[in-house]
Amino acid sequence: MCGIVGVVGSRNATDILIQGLQKLEYRGYDSSGIFVTDEEHNEHLIKAVGRISELQRKIGIDVNGTTGIGHTRWATHGKPTENNAHPHVSESGRFVLVHNGVIENFLEIKNEYLEGHHFLGQTDTEVAVHLIGKFVEEDGMTTKEAFCKALDIIVGSFAFVMIDKEEPDTLYVGKNKSPLLVALGNGYNMVCSDAMAMIRETHDFLEIHDGERVIVKADSVEILNEAGELVSREPFVAELDLSDIGKGTYPYYMMKEIDEQPAVMRRISSKYTDENGNVVVDSEIVQAVNDSDRVYIVACGTSYHAGWASKMFFEKMTEIPVEVHLASEFGYNIPLLSKKPLFIFLSQSGETADSRQVLVKVSKLGHKVLTITNVAGSTLSREADYTMLLHAGPEIAVASTKAYTAQIATMAVLAKTVGVFRKNTIAEEFDLTKELGLVANAMSAVVAEKEVIEAITAENLLTTRNAFYIGRGNDYYVSMEAALKMKEISYIQCEGFAAGELKHGTIALIEDGTPVLAMISQKEVAAHTRGNVMEVLSRGANTIVISSEECAEVGDDFVINTVHPFLTTLAMVVPAQLIAYYATLQRGLDVDKPRNLAKSVTVE
């Protein structure tokens, strides 16, 4: 979703802003813009619709300065046009602002404070910068007073960075709910919505908390709380490696990330193993899960699917019932909760607004919260009682792959340790280290046969408009994820279905040539799913069978190595990720940057 960068005190603000925005491209956006200025008031405001390269095309060599702000916008209020792109300016043009988030009361503000003001676009952001301009130019406040007052009035989620053209040595910064960090340079300072944007410049960052207002200059950072009192805070070192966020020799991040999965499985295994070879998790987390009478997994999209893929083994190893919920539904329709619930938030980014609103609500109700995320220090991690990390390395492609498998593996780590703590025999007998090793091997075997999958995809999905994945049990859960992968990047309308459920309605959609991809990795139900394959075949479907060794039959299209029944989703999903990848490439689409999507979904 939207990205923010800012810099003050640098000899080449434009370069720093553009490089920062490029690092945020992966989050998804549809327009971008920068504003740069210097002590001599050489001011440049440039915006473009489309990719950052469009913006770069408009930036002449004269566009430079010592201070600047930049933004990538993912449209919410108003279409992706230049007028709606950030930075936005106040009525007189003196104040320039970038914003992430959603201002809920922007219409009320417009009506109450900004009569007679002229707006160039439809965004909520423009209202915020006009409000600050009004407080200074019509009501006589200082810029700092006006900025703080506006933040008091604005309701919603926001990360703001503002420049007053009369003070080109200062960035005014504030946040509520949306992520924002100060990046500390030597003789210059920066602001960014994601540490990745500035990791080329520094590894030292300062957190900003909700409600704080921060004045950033080249050699100072002043943090004020809502009451206007000075806050002192130590910087933290972001453990990000530039090479982790590069594509290397890969054409797309998604393929790099699919290929990394075997290594991620082994890394998770080693990160959660002690020197005696025991699988370990922070004892407070184990205790909290052990004390609960029901686990509620709350998540969105792929992470939600990872929740489903974890439910069965979690219940078997811990004997604690597990419910899996969509965050966007749960928060506004909280079901009857058990007496001692424990909440697990699965989130790759740790920033998803839908999940966060639930976290805030259940924490207020006094329930314990564990976040399982890939991003240390992310909002969901900071606001939870406990955190477990995925150790998957940055995931850049919009379509999540290694984070999905890392979430399931990390849930298996937790289930195993809690189960052993509760002396559950199934957990005690489950050799997680060995089983994750076998999963890693099975994944490697799949990626080694990419060409086979590429050919299957070309043969069966090249021109289709729709497709189905079907399966039972774990294969149903992985079908949901397989279908999401397919639709989000290839735009093929694809549904993941419980194989037995098709005949209760959806089979009506099967026509001559409709691709139906059947996942078959569970012995007990294999014959039933094969029966469902026959049903669609006899109605003209073009069936593709992906099975595990122990369920395989002659004629199956792709067979994966057998892995432990708890972990079949980890191996079965890999061919599906590759099918989505190749279907997208074969349609000439950009795998890493699908239309309309954002990597980190910071609005509800």
Q: Which is nearer to ligand F6R, 136 or 388 (CB)?
A: 388
Task: Check residue 347 for interaction with ligand F6R (CB under 6 A).
Answer: yes
271-279, 297-305, 309-317, 500-508 -> range binding ligand F6R (CB under 6 A)? 297-305
Whether residue 599 lies in the annotated active site? yes
Among 123, 400, 479, 521, which residue interacts with ligand F6R (rule: CB under 6 A)?
A: 400
Task: Check residue 399 for interaction with ligand F6R (CB under 6 A).
Answer: yes
Spatial neighbors of 342 by CB under 8 A, at least 6 apart, are: 288, 289, 291, 292, 294, 295, 296, 367, 368, 369, 370
Catalytic residue chosen out of the listed positions 23, 134, 256, 599: 599
Q: Which is nearer to ligand F6R, 190 or 380 (CB)?
A: 380
x/- mask, ligand F6R, residues 484-513, rule CB under 6 A, reads x---x-------------------------
Task: Check residue 328 for interaction with ligand F6R (CB under 6 A).
Answer: no
Q: Which is nearer to ligand F6R, 190 or 572 (CB)?
A: 572
Among 67, 125, 261, 352, which residue interacts with ligand F6R (rule: CB under 6 A)?
A: 352
Among 18, 55, 190, 300, which residue interacts with ligand F6R (rule: CB under 6 A)?
A: 300
Pseudo-torsion of CA 403, 405, 406, 408, nearest 10°? 120
Catalytic residue chosen out of the listed positions 2, 300, 494, 551: 2
In this structure, are residues 551 and 558 in contact, taking their beta carbons and an 8 Å threshold? no
CA distance 84 to 301: 28
Q: Which is nearer to ligand F6R, 5 or 392 (CB)?
A: 392
CA distance 114 to 406: 49
CA distance 253 to 247: 6
The residue type at 276? N
Pseudo-torsion of CA 268, 272, 273, 275, nearest 10°? 120
196-204, 299-307, 442-450, 547-555 -> range binding ligand F6R (CB under 6 A)? 299-307
CA distance 100 to 115: 25
Residue 486 CB, nearest approach to ligand F6R (Å): 11
Task: Check residue 125 for interaction with ligand F6R (CB under 6 A).
Answer: no
- Residues in binding contact with ligand F6R, number by CB under 6 A: 14
Name the E strands within 274-364.
294-299, 322-326, 341-347
DSSP for 372-401 reads: EESSTT-HHHHTSSEEEE-------SSS-S
Task: Check residue 355 for interaction with ligand F6R (CB under 6 A).
Answer: yes
Q: Which is nearer to ligand F6R, 489 or 520 (CB)?
A: 489
Q: Which is nearer to ligand F6R, 484 or 520 (CB)?
A: 484
Among 143, 348, 568, 569, which residue interacts with ligand F6R (rule: CB under 6 A)?
A: 348
CA distances from 376 to 194, 350, 450 (A): 12, 8, 32
Spatial neighbors of 173 by CB under 8 A, at least 6 apart, are: 6, 160, 161, 162, 180, 182, 191, 208, 213, 214, 215, 216
Task: Check residue 569 for interaction with ligand F6R (CB under 6 A).
Answer: no
Site for ligand F6R in 447-486 (CB under 6 A): 484
Q: Name the nearest CA neighbour of 542 among 572, 511, 582.
A: 511
335 preceded by cis ω (within 30°)?
Answer: no
Q: Which residue is nearest to ligand F6R (CB)?
A: 301
The residue type at 8? V
In this structure, are residues 210 and 243 in contact, taking their beta carbons and an 8 Å threshold? no
Whether residue 110 lies in the annotated active site? no
Cα atoms found within 13 Å of the Cα of residue 29, Cβ hemisphere only: 30
Structure tokens at 559: 């067979």
Residue 501 CB, nearest approach to ligand F6R (Å): 22
Residue 46 CB, nearest approach to ligand F6R (Å): 31
Task: Check residue 72 for interaction with ligand F6R (CB under 6 A).
Answer: no
Task: Check residue 349 for interaction with ligand F6R (CB under 6 A).
Answer: yes
Residue 298 CB, nearest approach to ligand F6R (Å): 10
170-178, 242-250, 344-352, 528-536 -> range binding ligand F6R (CB under 6 A)? 344-352
In this structure, are residues 351 and 193 in contact, taking their beta carbons and an 8 Å threshold? no
CA distances from 235 to 26, 193, 344, 529 (A): 26, 16, 28, 55
Residue 487 CB, nearest approach to ligand F6R (Å): 10
76-84, 212-220, 295-303, 553-561 -> range binding ligand F6R (CB under 6 A)? 295-303
Residue 301 CB, nearest approach to ligand F6R (Å): 2
Residue 406 CB, nearest approach to ligand F6R (Å): 11
Structure-token match 């920066």, residue found: 190
Burial of 218 from C-beta contacts in 10 A (0-12 / 13-18 / 19+): middle
Site for ligand F6R in 255-274 (CB under 6 A): none
By CB under 6 A, name the binding residues for ligand F6R.
300-303, 347-349, 352, 355, 399-400, 484, 488, 601
Give me the active site residues, please.
Answer: 2, 599
